[in-house]
Amino acid sequence: MSHIDEGLLHAYLDGETAGAERSGLEQHLEGCAECRDRLEQARALRDRSAAILSGSGPARVTPPPFEQVVARSRAVEARRRVFRLNRLTALGWAATIVLAVGVGWIARGTLGFGERPAQQPGFAMADSAVLQLAEQIAEPEADAPERTLAQAPTREGRVEAGRAQRRDEPAPPAVLKSETVPEEGVPLDARAEAEEARAKMAEADVEQQPAAGVATPAAPAAAAARGRGAIAQADSIEQAQSESKAAHDAFAAAGIRLDEVLGGAGEGTEWRVADEATANERLGGAVTPLPGAEVVAYLVPAEPDRAAVQLVQQLESGEAVVLMQERTTEMPEAEDAVGDRDELMAMNEPASQVEGASVTLRRGDFVLTLRGNLPPDSLRALLEQLP
Amino acid sequence: MSVDWAEVYRTTFEDLVRFLHRKVWDADRAKDLAQEVFVRALDHEPENPKAWLFTVAGNLARDEARTAIRRRKHLTLLKSEAAGESAPDPAEELDRRQRMEQVREALNQLSDRDRDVLLLWDAGLNYDEIAAESGLSKGAVGTTLARARRRLVEAYGALEDEDVAHR
């Protein structure tokens, strides 16, 4: 019989052999002086290496309480939930702002509030944001025609609402229109965008429903059209959305649960639409938007003493992002890291679990968080552009 | 299969820290990472806890080695090691630190696979677990360990000789 392989000698010493293998080895060792010698060499090597390693360990390890690990695990899960909801909330906010703008437009037209300004860039921006968001929302369903908005149960209602609106009311934001003649007073930019929107709609749906501008995948816009009557008096995001059953239905058709987004889930913070001056006052200084991106809306928390502002901004590429600025001394401890470890973990989850991303940066007394449906690296680069 | 994670934590945490320590060479960081591995384990609830824990620990340590945090923390390595939980005799501590540096250097002379297998064995994993973790066959684990042990002993011996020659 040949001599025992060195690996097997180590396995024998390590107690990793058993049964027939072990007894066979022992039998061989009894009759083979050379292998006994090699076994002792292997033993010496094993003991020596173990001794070397034992001298390099940490001084002494006292495990932190297991409860600490459990608490951290729960925090990560909670953060991940918030993270998912935040993205939906961001979409919901932007959509609702447009909805509120639409309401304002209609209310002004029907009730005679104020004069129509010469320029309404906010509307054009808002419409564009709606289109963008609607495309984002509709996109995941592109492969599931049975669930597209055009076939959603509420379609007829939306079409009817759209027709009624065109007959009876002044021009709403461009995305809701389907006539080819530009409305008087609508800024040129908005007209151009309306044309573009109509072109997109026509591609998708014109043959079956020539007048079905609102039945395109622009779910938030459709929600705006259907829900505007119910939310005319709304002064908060929650109110605006929760009071509109039609908006709920339309959002649901797009796969967004408004009650989850707005029902106090997420961060548990109620945000209200504000103007720039109010936002500045709340933050105790000038709110700094991302450079080169239009501010679609300013949001402030309902709690009056919280020094935080969220800006919904639209990048040149059309993507909507939400920039939160909060004055605090409590938030992430990382002084220069972008995102803390748990957040980075969340970002590394598969896209099916966490859509979009969020990066956090501390600047002096401020914690800045940027959320959006962009890769974390892009968000980080954007956030770092803040002066 | 339901895993008693409190028990796994109690029996494995120290091994995990030792394993991680020899990858990141920072006691505080090794403890942090070990905790993080358990946080992830509670989230994933793997069926084979021990193999999973060491796999994730190995991955985290690898990531760690790539980060700037690692470099920054390294600057405080000696300080944090010295500020352990007891206040050791300074001469003993100096000796321990020198030894640790030598072990580190010796381990660096091993191939990645040999080093991983050796450290997994040292952390208390058996051949089956090491095989699952490293992708080796169980039979190859003994051979790899034999080679890794010999190389470590030789490399460490050479460093010790060098040290003696310098004194």
pLDDT tens-digit readout, A163-213: 444 444 444 333 333 333 334 444 444 445 545 544 554 444 433 333 333
For the segment B111-136, what is each residue's pLDDT rounded down to a tens digit?
999 999 999 998 888 999 899 888 89
What pLDDT was estimated at residue A27? 94
Among candidates B98, B130, B112, which has minimal Cα distance to B61? B112
Contact A52 B152 (CB under 8 A): yes
On the question of pLDDT at B13 being above 90, the answer is yes
Residues of B in contact with A5 (CB under 8 A): 142-143
Which DSSP state fits A366? E
Asked if B165 contacts A31 with a C-beta cutoff of 8 angstroms, the reply is no
pLDDT at B9: 93
How confident is residue A9, by pLDDT bands cut at 50, 70 and 90? very high
What 3-state DSSP class applies to B1? coil
Give ipTM to 2 decimals: 0.79
What are the b/e assignments for B27-40, b being 16+ CB within 10 Å? Answer: bbbbbbbbbbbbbb
How many C-alpha atoms does A125 have within 13 Å on its Cβ side? 18
Candidates A336, A69, A56; CA nearest to B69 is: A336
Q: What does chain B come to in residues?
A: 167
Number of C-beta neighbours around residue A375 at 10 A:
12
Interface contact flag, B21 A57, Cβ < 8 Å: yes
Angle between helices A33-54 and B138-166 (to 10 degrees): 60
For residues A248 and B127, what is the distance between their CA atoms, to the nearest angstrom? Answer: 58
Q: With an 8 Å Cβ cutoff, are A66 and B149 in contact? A: no
Nearest residue of chain A to residue B15 (CA atoms): A61
Residue of chain B nearest A342, judged by CA positions: B36
Q: How far apart are CA A18 and CA B149, in angstroms?
A: 23
Please name which of B27, B17, B24, B34 lies closest in space to residue B79, comparing C-alpha atoms: B27
DSSP secondary structure code for residue A176 in this structure: G
Where residue A76 falls among pLDDT bands split at 50, 70, 90?
confident
Q: Is the pLDDT of residue B158 over 50?
A: yes
Chain B residues whose CB is inside 8 A of the A14 CB are: 121, 127, 142, 145
What token pair was written down for B16? 């995990």
Secondary structure (DSSP) of A32-63: -HHHHHHHHHHHHHHHHHHHHHHTTS-S---P
**Residue A84 has what pLDDT?**
63
The more confident residue out of A10 and A153 is A10
Per the listing, tokens 């938007």 go with: A289
A24-28, A29-33, A238-242, B96-100: the lowest-pLDDT one: A238-242
Query: Residue A259 pLDDT more than 90?
Result: no
Cβ-Cβ pairs closer than 8 A, A with B, add up to: 126
A10/B146 Cβ within 8 A? yes
